[in-house]
Structure 1
Amino acid sequence: MKQRTPEKIGLVFIHGAGLEGRIWSKVATGLDHPVLLAELPQRKGDDETRKGLSLADYVNGIKRQVDEWGIRKFMIVAHSLGGVLALGLASELKGRVAGIAAIGAVIPENGGSFVSAMPFPKRIVLPAILRKMGTKPPAAAIRAGLCNDLPADQAAEIVRGFIPEAVRVYTDRIGVSVPNVPKLYVKLTKDKELAPSLQNKMISNFSPQSVRSLETGHLPMLSDPDGLRSILEDFLADAGYND
């Protein structure tokens, strides 16, 4: 009787605020695993269409993409705001998540939100700022924060394509704990958007079995895709999934 070949573990990539799934393309290329470059909801069309969305809408939108994808067992690779969404997705799909790699990601304490993970006084004033000023930072802030180590042409593309998110994806509480699965945090040592000192707090909240570092800014999938891919391959191998 012919033995069935075990299904390869998949990787679900969750991008950060303002971006699109294709930002992961250079990392995903060359991985010997099924990949899903998930999209946050309603990336196309008028910005008004996203304003009423909740954090649950974001999580459920990613869950639908995973269900349609059809891969049973997968690891989540989450960046920045995507860390909050990864916790929600893992809670929704218990038993299917084989691990989480958090890449310069925000990991709130149990029951917290993106905003609650920020340092004082930012966590107090940020909700009011988001509601009044919107969720798209000024171009200069995007260049200085997200794109500090990127060439000018890449930075210009990020600024030009930045997509405002719903306020509630930042302010709604996720209400779940970090799952008991293999976990990796990739610390970005030159990050000007999520400072290394704040990443240390996220690492404490996440309690990963492994912490790796990349000497990049906030977007290592653009500035060092080969280095990030190599770290992910090591994580898969350590968890026994890189056969």
Structure 2
Amino acid sequence: MSTTSESILFISGAGLRAWVWDDVRADLDVPSAVAPRPATGSASVRDHAEAAIAAVGPGSFTVVAHSIGGVVASEILGLVPERVRGVLGLSAVIPRPGGSFVSAMPRPNRWVLPLLLRLSGTRPPESVLRRGLGDGLDEEPLDRVVSEFTPESRQLYLDRVAGHRWTGRTGYVVTSQDRELPRALQQRFAQQLGGDWCEELATGHLPMLQQPHETAAAIRRFVAATAVERL
């Protein structure tokens, strides 16, 4: 793929296939890549981050991280900070440096989740996927998201990310009708990510499918703001 400074690396939420970004990527019409899932079923957060970096190729890039993809983005900042132009969280979980997805959750979830992951695995029941993850979607994309949902490694939820000193441009898009991550929790993650660029979309947890054109427009505005700041 092209390695211009406009390259975007998309990091998906748990269980989602690369196709969920198709409409957004087509609307943006810039070089981009979707982070792949590592081949091993016991992949660590670092394995995910290294696979993502390999997918985007050499050169600098902007990260757009969705949901648990925020954890992977945090690890990328510890590995190749000099290559990252900006980080945009899209209803993203942002742990503190040295934290994990689980530790970023409010109480009592941070205590209950490890037990649930050990007993039930990382694929929620279909009813939970439809009611939470897929809320707001039309029937066709909802059915596809549910049928193709891929369980993740437990380590993706449990591993602690590396610390970093990256201080580049950051932004956050809050999804105001989200049943997976309530608005107040997203706002906390936005503060944790830092920066003062924040927008809101009136969608559930999958804005790239529910409002792809609006999602792409928000990404364009963030990239443009990042470019202006660097001048």
TM-score scaled by length of structure 1: 0.89
Is the 1:104–1:187 contact (alpha carbons within 8 Å) kept by the matching residues of 2?
yes
1:236 Cα deviation (Å)? 1.3
Question: In structure 2, which of residues 29, 35, 39 is the aligned counterpart of residue 38 of structure 1?
Answer: 35
Is the 2:34–2:52 contact (alpha carbons within 8 Å) kept by the matching residues of 1?
no
Aligned twin of 2:94: 107
Aligned twin of 2:70: 83
1:65 Cα deviation (Å)? 1.8
Question: In structure 2, which of residues 153, 157, 162 is the aligned counterpart of residue 166 of structure 1?
Answer: 153
1:10 Cα deviation (Å)? 0.7
Q: How many residues align?
A: 228
Give the aligned residue type for 1:63: I
1:178 Cα deviation (Å)? 6.7
Give the aligned residue type for 2:10: F
Query: SS of 1:63's equivalent?
Result: helix
Q: CA 1:178–1:200 in 2, change beyond 3 Å: closer, same or farther?
A: farther
Query: SS of 2:14's equivalent?
Result: coil
1:209 Cα deviation (Å)? 2.3
Q: Between Structure 1 and Structure 2, which shows a larger proportion of helix residues?
A: 2
Q: CA 1:166–1:7 in 2, change beyond 3 Å: closer, same or farther?
A: closer
CA–CA distance in structure 2, aligned partners of residues 37 and 110 of structure 1: 24
1:26 Cα deviation (Å)? 0.5
**Aligned ranges for residues 92-131 of structure 1 at < 5 Å?**
92-131=79-118
1:8 Cα deviation (Å)? 3.7
Aligned twin of 1:231: 218
The C-alpha deviation readout for 1:1-37, integer Å capped at 9, x for no partner, is: xxxxx94421011111001122111001132421112
Stretches of structure 1 lacking an aligned partner (at least 5 in a row): 1-5, 43-48
Is the 2:24–2:213 contact (alpha carbons within 8 Å) kept by the matching residues of 1?
yes
Is the 2:74–2:162 contact (alpha carbons within 8 Å) kept by the matching residues of 1?
no
Query: SS of 1:226's equivalent?
Result: helix
- Cα-Cα RMSD: 1.9
* Identity percentage of aligned residues: 36
CA–CA distance in structure 1, aligned partners of residues 74 and 89 of structure 2: 10
1:135 Cα deviation (Å)? 0.2
- Runs of 4+ aligned residues of structure 1 deviating over 3 Å after TM superposition are none
1:154 Cα deviation (Å)? 1.7
Is the 1:110–1:178 contact (alpha carbons within 8 Å) kept by the matching residues of 2?
no
Give the aligned residue type for 1:62: A
Is the 1:12–1:38 contact (alpha carbons within 8 Å) kept by the matching residues of 2?
yes
Q: Does 1:62 align with 2:59?
A: no
